[in-house]
Chain A
Amino acid sequence: MTETHGTVSAAPAVRPTRRATYEARVRRRSTTVAALSTAAVLLAVVVLVPMAPGWEAVKRSFFDAEVFARTFPGLLNAFLLDIAIFAWCAPLIALTGLAIALCRDVRSPALFPLRMFGAVYTDIFRGLPVILVVYLIGFGIPGLGLPRPWNSPYIWGSLALILVYSAYVAEVIRSGIDSIHQSQRSAAASLGLSEADTMRYVVLPQALRNVMPANMNLLIALQKDVALLSFIGPVEIFRQAGVYKSLMANFTPYVGAALIFLAITIPATRYADYLLNRQRRRQR
């Protein structure tokens, strides 16, 4: 009796259920279809593009192996400057963005000017093209007659990036703060926590975690916009590629620069997507 019972209950574990068999079959078929269609598209690109009449000229201008080999080390070297600018801007952007977001959340009437400042700040800097701010601040402020090294384009160009990006980050953080349900603030208040403590220990940790993926996307955009500093002098990768392009009358250095950017931004984008998905799963 016991033995019979055991056999019956063990059966499903040994033999796949009808549904499992069906789903496995469907999965196999979709994998095959996906593989075939990908192969077809790749084949079409590889075969058809070189058949275009201008392909030879394009290949020489954009995919010249010799130019690539000559310029790539220099591009990598110039990219170090991009990384350095990014590295000192990102933390400052995070801090400024947080400060501005908090300015916009103050409720005390005495601090109304702060709140207004926060609103004006984000409106202005989100409303301007980054390159314009880089020019205005990068040439304008040093033009007031600051002594060296305080007129460095690195300082003022970075400031321009910090101003613009912190405005975006502030808006993202603010939306994160708004997304925290009022009941969390009530719960904190009911325990006697001050407004500041409520923000610091209850609202902000949750808000920042919620907006992590959005901020990752801003970081990726920043990584690319660092190149805008080249307009006011610094020779980072974009400018270096432009110099090579001019000297050799060949666009291949841009392709090299693009590859270097992608090597950084694609993993970062994948990571941001991963964070976003994980968050969606958690909220479900």
Chain B
Amino acid sequence: MKIVTSAITIACLAATGALAADHGACAAGKTLEEGMLTIATGNPAFYPWVLNDAPESGEGFEAAVAYAIAEAMGFAPEQVQWVRTSFDEAIQPGAKNFDFNMQQYSITEDRDRMVDFSLPYYSSAMAVLTTEGVVEETGATPEIAGMKDLRWGAMAGTTAMPILMDLIAPNSDPLLYGDNADVTAAMQAGQIDAALFDLPTALYLSAVVVDGGKILGQFPADRTESPDQFGLLMEEGSPLKECVDAAMTELTESGTLAAIEAQWLQDATGVPVIQ
């Protein structure tokens, strides 16, 4: 009996080892540096995706997902190294300095022609950030009809702009900015009334950055025809894609991804849905 148990244990261990070896084998020879996984993030990386701009800590949603994927692919935490890129560096032709790039890249058909995306790791709701002053003044409510007359802003490099035009179709042309900081500066200068962000970013900005910031409401992820989903960005034709996707499937099915989301993006609940 004892022997049998031991045998089973050994068999299980062997199987686990085989599994791990299998993952390792999948990524073997496909990374930039043998035995190392190089992951890119933004410069700086923002809360709540990465805490304190320190992805090595594994704190923050994307940092945590990154280490989970690495582990599933057979890389120990110390085998993970981080680099920083801009969006333009991520999509420019030529050799890349990362194995995959992770900074809230929405998966779209157009982008997919130029680069490879993994399976999604997050389905993002879009949320409307505004200020209490604007709500008082305009009586804005979470209803699309009343939002058309607001002055809108968004970040230029994101999918917020087409979603804004699709869902809200504001009466005046939206103003676009280079990063979060500029959007909030324009909001504080009274040049825009409202801006569209992914929900976690909107929550962070309203709580920490914008004086009197307020989330007017969210468009649930499934509201749009093609929901805004974040994927890992890889070089077009990357040999690593199947390994990453296998790891992603495993994390999704095991519930690990949901657990990480619950840990780092738990605030995202309780925001009213826009009618």
A and B touch in the complex (CB under 8 A): yes
Of the listed residues B93, B158, B162, the one surrounded by the most CB atoms of chain A closer than 10 A to its CB is: B93
- Interface positions, chain A 128-178, Cβ under 8 Å from B, are 139-140, 142-143, 145-148, 151-153
The answer to whether A249 and B190 touch across the interface, beta carbons within 8 angstroms, is no
Contact for B173 among A61, A147, A235, A250, CB less than 8 A: A235
A60 close to B (CB within 8 Å): yes
8 Å CB contact of B157 from A153, A231, A246: A246
Task: Assess whether A239 is interfacial by the CB under 8 Å rule.
Answer: yes
Q: Which of A148, A230, A235, A246 has the most CB of B within 10 A?
A: A246
Q: Are A61 and B114 in contact (CB under 8 A)?
A: yes
Give residues 86-107 of B contacting A (CB, 8 Å): 87-88, 91-94
Across-interface contacts of A48 in B (CB, < 8 A): none
A54 / chain B contacts, CB cutoff of 8 Å: 93-94
- Nearest Cβ on chain A to B94's Cβ, whole angstroms: 5
Which chain A residues lie closer than 8 Å to B236 at the CB level? 57
Most buried by A among B87, B191, B236: B191
Known: A249-B91, A251-B92. A230 touches B176 (CB 8 A): yes
A247 close to chain B: CB less than 8 A: yes
- With A153-B186, A233-B175, A247-B110 as given contacts, are A242 and B191 in contact (CB-CB < 8 Å)? no
Q: Does A256 contact B (CB under 8 A)?
A: no
CA A147 to CA B161, docked complex, whole Å? 26
Chain A CB within 8 A of B153 CB: yes
A202 surroundings in chain B (CB, below 8 A): none
B38 at the interface (CB under 8 A from A): no
**Cα separation A175 to B93 with both chains bound (whole Å):** 47
Residue of A nearest to B114 (CB): A249
Given contacts A54-B94, A60-B93, A246-B157, are A142 and B189 in contact (CB under 8 A)?
yes
Inter-chain contacts of A242 with B (CB < 8 A): 156-157
Name which of B72-80, B177-185, B223-231 contacts chain A. B177-185
Q: Is residue B69 contacting chain A, with contact meaning CB distance below 8 A?
A: no
Residues of A within 8 A of B190 (CB): 142-143, 145-148, 151
Closest beta carbon of chain B to A256's beta carbon, Å: 15
Query: A248, B182: Cβ atoms under 8 Å?
Result: no
Shortest Cβ distance from residue B188 to the other chain A in the assembled complex, whole angstroms: 6
Q: Are A139 and B186 in contact (CB under 8 A)?
A: yes
A251 / chain B contacts, CB cutoff of 8 Å: 88, 91-92
- Tell me whether A234 is interfacial, beta carbon within 8 Å: yes
Interface size on B, residues (CB 8 A): 34
Contacts of A60 in B (CB 8 A): 93, 114
- Report if A58 contacts B (CB, 8 A): yes
DSSP majority for the A interface?
helix
Select from chain B the residue with minimum beta-carbon distance to A141: B189
Is there a chain B Cβ closer than 8 Å to A258's Cβ?
Answer: no
Q: In residues 222-265 of chain A, which contact B (Cβ within 8 Å)?
A: 230-235, 239, 242-243, 245-251
Report the separation of the CA atoms of residues A216 and B175 in the bound assembly, to the nearest whole angstrom: 31
Q: B252 at the A/B interface (Cβ < 8 Å)? A: no
In the complex, the answer to whether B110 meets A142 with C-beta atoms within 8 Å is: no
Q: B115 contacts A247, CB within 8 Å? A: no
Contact, CB under 8 Å: A235 / B178: no
B175 lies within 8 A of A248 (CB) = no
Q: Which of A145, A148, A232, A247 contacts B186 (CB 8 A)?
A: A232
Instruction: Provide the residues of chain A in CB contact with B87, threshold 8 Å.
Output: 246
Chain B residues lying within 8 Å of A142, measured Cβ to Cβ, are: 189-191
Name A239's contact: one of B108, B156, B192 (CB within 8 Å). Answer: B156
A143 nearest in chain B by CB position: B189
Q: Which of B94, B108, B114, B192 contacts A233 (CB 8 A)?
A: B192
A233 touches B157 (CB 8 A): no
Q: Check B238 for interface membership: any CB of A closer than 8 A.
A: no
Residue from A139, A152, A233, A250 within 8 A of B176 (CB atoms)? A233
User: Does B159 touch A at the CB level, under 8 Å?
Assistant: yes
Asked whether any CB of chain A lies closer than 8 Å to the CB of B111, the reply is yes
| Given A61-B91, A61-B114, A232-B186, residue A151 in contact with residue B175 (CB < 8 A) | no
Q: Shortest CB–CB separation between residue B234 and chain A, in angstroms?
A: 12
Q: Can you report 27 A-B residue pairs in the complex whose CB atoms are below 8 A from each other?
A: A54-B93, A61-B91, A139-B185, A142-B190, A143-B190, A145-B190, A146-B190, A147-B190, A148-B190, A151-B191, A152-B191, A230-B156, A232-B191, A233-B176, A233-B177, A242-B156, A246-B158, A247-B159, A247-B162, A249-B91, A249-B111, A249-B113, A249-B114, A249-B115, A250-B91, A251-B88, A251-B92
Contacts beyond the supplied A54-B93, A153-B186: 4 A-B pairs with Cβ under 8 Å: A139-B189, A139-B191, A235-B174, A247-B162
Binding site for B on A (CB under 8 A): 54, 57-58, 60-62, 139-140, 142-143, 145-148, 151-153, 230-235, 239, 242-243, 245-251
B: residues with CB less than 8 A from A are 87-88, 91-94, 108, 110-111, 113-115, 153, 156-159, 161-162, 173-178, 182, 185-186, 188-192, 236
